[in-house]
Amino acid sequence: MKHSVGIFSIWKCELGYFIGYKDYMYDNDMIKAIKIPKEDYIKILQSYNARFDAGEYFFDDMLNAIKCAEFLNEKYGLLIVLLEGVE
């Protein structure tokens, strides 16, 4: 199952919901795509009630995942798209 929020997607697996971007589905890949410190990314996820499980962060509630993806899209979406054109 996939739900799009701007440039990000929300996926569901047996551990819960997670946010992805293109082929980036792991937290470390997302950190590289967004180009922010890992600690900042984790704080953002945790502020929307993400929990750590199996080496990654997941949301139990899809609404929290959507709100987090909306925040990431609003704050970093345009920057990511622009930087991709430069690389």
| pLDDT for the residue numbered 51 | 98
Name the residue with tokens 């971007």. 21
Give tens-digit pLDDT for 7-46.
999 999 999 999 998 877 899 999 988 889 999 999 999 9
Report how far apart the first and last C-alpha atoms of the chain are (Å, whole number). 30
- pTM reported for the whole predicted model: 0.90
- Which helix (H) or strand (E) segment holds residue 20: the answer is strand 16-20
- Which helix (H) or strand (E) segment holds residue 53: the answer is strand 51-53
* CA proximity to 38, closest of 23, 56, 53: 56
Dist. CA 84–CA 80, nearest whole Å: 6
Dist. CA 70–CA 76, nearest whole Å: 10
| pLDDT for the residue numbered 86 | 58
Give tens-digit pLDDT for 54-80.
999 999 999 999 999 999 999 998 888
Tell me if residue 51 falls in helix, strand or coil.
strand
